Amino acid sequence: MMSPLKVLLSIISLFVVLAIVAVVYPEGGIHVGDYTLRYPKLTDIFEKDSGKLRDSTQEDPEEAIREMMEATKRKEFAAFSDSLKYYENFFKKGKTRFDLPNNDPTWFDRFFLHLELAALDSNVVHIVHYGDSQLEEDRISSAIREDLQDEFGGSGPGMMPPIMTVPSQTTSHSSSGALTRYILFGPKEEEADHSRYGPLAQLAQLDGEASITIQRRQERKGKFKHVGGYSTIKLLTNKSAKIKTKLNVNRTFVEVVGEDANGNPKEKRTTKVVEAGDPTIETFNKLKVYTWKLKDTTSVAKLYISGYGEIYAISADGAYGVAVDNVAMRGSSGTIFHRIDSELLAESYRAMNARLIIMEYGGNLVPGTSKSNVEYTKKLITRQIQAIQKANPDADILFIGPADMARQQDGEWKTYPALNMTIRALREVALDNGAAYWDMHRVMGGNGSMIKWVNREPALGFTDHIHFTRRGAAYMGDLFCAALRMHYDYFKFRDRHHISDEKLKDIHKWREESKEKPKADKPKAEAAAKGKGVKKS
């Protein structure tokens, strides 16, 4: 076996011999018959090597890095593009889509961020759902509430008026004693002689002793699983109110009373009425807020109040998460917000951390709308949106337009003639003022759809061909949440992949450029194929 030194000497000897051959080999080669044997010169070898060296030193490292990053970006953009396109197709063409200011699909981002922070901050985010009689009995709102509380946490029905005249399907509410109700959306004789109505456009004047009881409806326990379990009770009054309060709640006590056959502890549960203790009191310029943070959750709360003052609302919420306040105004067109004391309204929204205001109106406008007064209607609704924006600039406003509605004409049910005109006006006003718009008429299927909803089995619409049944309202709420969830999924997708607004623009630009490139590159590709002798299929 040769030693390493002998191997090295052999290799060197071989290179020396080859170099000598290269030097003495005839420059023209050796001719053997028709063939010529050639041997490369050393100068040829070194020139080629130095050429390669020169080429490599001439490469721009920064350019190579840029090209590599561009290739990575193209690959990344291609992966994101299909998923983004799925969402964006819905935002543009989906029947249940939202119409958004500037067609901006990121419009809900601020609202979603508040919802996600609620759990981290142990805070409750309120969504105030205003509307006409379509919302009575907590219809539509209850479906939205359940869906959002499933996702973001929370419990309870949210804000409720001190006196409730139309029962809720989710929460039993009763009041008694020296309370007098005033509302802004009813007959003139039911209005107060001032504008201090608070966030629900109504109040109860306390002059003596009274009580307000709210509790979960047991017969609905399976259907509305989040509406009970109150952890936070709030009472909103005027700042100058002189009242005393006492809150009683049901508390469950657990006692171990032995063991079962398997040796597991047997528990006995008893429910007792206990006093919740003193509230904390927060005072604003015009508002006073009493807050009870309960040690345990309860589904029954009874508030005793005495003295003199204006009661604007009582709320029952969870410890954190989301709350949806159902504010139904029978017969209202939603044209009363500019008449509410703006400072009191602003303080109420701030105290309740209201981050989304839903205005569901239009049905009561339709019968009286015509070409001659539609511009006045637009000005009136503009004033309402701007009044809420002034009171709560940190909240987003979403306008829900009227559903399909029909009346009898020549013995047939037909969609109201002015409905589409009203919807166009409301959509225009909402978008022009930075609010989103959700078109219930389009969601249902357009003109004539209410007739189909009434005739379905079980029925989704009442025989008046204007209002939803409970089932129809719940279905509409589910459709709303499904559309909202598309935006939330879109929000999470962008967050998960760190797609900023700027990066989103770059992806859209890349997508547009990619559509053009195949057309421009096709002739070159075909020419290259021909040059290589490749047959086109």
Helix count and strand count (H, E) for the chain: 12, 19
Tell me what pLDDT residue 65 has.
59
Judging by DSSP bridges, how do beta strands 436-438 and 354-360 pair with one another?
unpaired
Tell me what pLDDT residue 412 has.
94
Judging by DSSP bridges, how do beta strands 300-317 and 242-259 pair with one another?
antiparallel
Question: How large is the angle between the packed helices 419-432 and 374-391, nearest 10 degrees?
Answer: 40
Question: Comparing C-alpha atoms, which of 96, 95, 143 is closest to residue 470?
Answer: 143
322 Cβ contact list (under 8 Å, min separation 6): 115, 118, 124, 125, 126, 127, 145, 148, 149, 152, 153, 154
The rounded percent of the chain whose pLDDT value lies above 70 is 80
Please check whether residue 59 lies inside any domain of the structure.
no
Q: How does 467-503 read in b/e, with b if 16+ C-beta sit within 10 Å?
A: bbbbebbbbbbebbbebbebbbebbeebeeeebeeeb
pLDDT band of residue 252 (cuts 50, 70, 90) is confident
What own/partner pairs with CB < 8 Å and gap ≥ 24 does 218-223 have? 220/169, 220/170
Please check whether residue 521 lies inside any domain of the structure.
no
| Contact present, 152 and 224 (Cβ < 8 Å) | no
pLDDT band of residue 37 (cuts 50, 70, 90) is low
**Cα–Cα distance, 346 to 197 (Å, whole number):** 12
Q: Is the pLDDT of residue 197 over 60?
A: yes
**Domain count of the chain?**
1
Q: Write out pLDDT tens, residues 140-176.
A: 999 999 999 999 999 999 999 999 999 999 999 999 9
Tell me what pLDDT residue 510 has.
77
Tell me what pLDDT residue 82 has.
79
Please check whether residue 474 lies inside any domain of the structure.
yes
| Contact present, 359 and 398 (Cβ < 8 Å) | yes
Please check whether residue 21 lies inside any domain of the structure.
no
Dihedrals phi, psi of 65, to nearest 5 degrees: -65, -40
Q: Write out pLDDT tens, residues 474-523.
A: 999 999 999 999 999 999 999 998 888 888 888 878 777 777 655 444 44
**Cα–Cα distance, 137 to 380 (Å, whole number):** 27
Q: What is the mean pLDDT of residues 197-208?
A: 98
Please check whether residue 33 lies inside any domain of the structure.
no
364 Cβ contact list (under 8 Å, min separation 6): 132, 331, 332, 333
Q: What is the mean pLDDT of residues 27-41?
A: 65
Please check whether residue 166 lies inside any domain of the structure.
yes
**Cα–Cα distance, 74 to 93 (Å, whole number):** 27
Where residue 259 sits, what CATH number does that domain have? Answer: 3.40.50.1110
Q: What is the mean pLDDT of residues 205-212?
A: 98
* Owning domain of residue 337: 96-504
Dihedrals phi, psi of 364, to nearest 5 degrees: -80, -10
Question: Comparing C-alpha atoms, which of 436, 424, 430 is closest to residue 103?
Answer: 436
* Selection from 45-59, 294-308, 510-524 with the highest mean pLDDT: 294-308
Lowest model confidence (mean pLDDT) among 31-45, 280-294, 427-441: 31-45
> What is the pLDDT of the chain when averaged over all its residues?
87
Please check whether residue 42 lies inside any domain of the structure.
no
Q: What is the mean pLDDT of residues 9-32?
A: 66
* Selection from 74-88, 256-270, 385-399 with the highest mean pLDDT: 385-399
Q: Is the pLDDT of residue 207 over 80?
A: yes
Dihedrals phi, psi of 99, to nearest 5 degrees: -90, 125
Q: What is the pTM of this model?
A: 0.81
Please check whether residue 459 lies inside any domain of the structure.
yes
Tally of CB atoms within 10 A around 419: 25
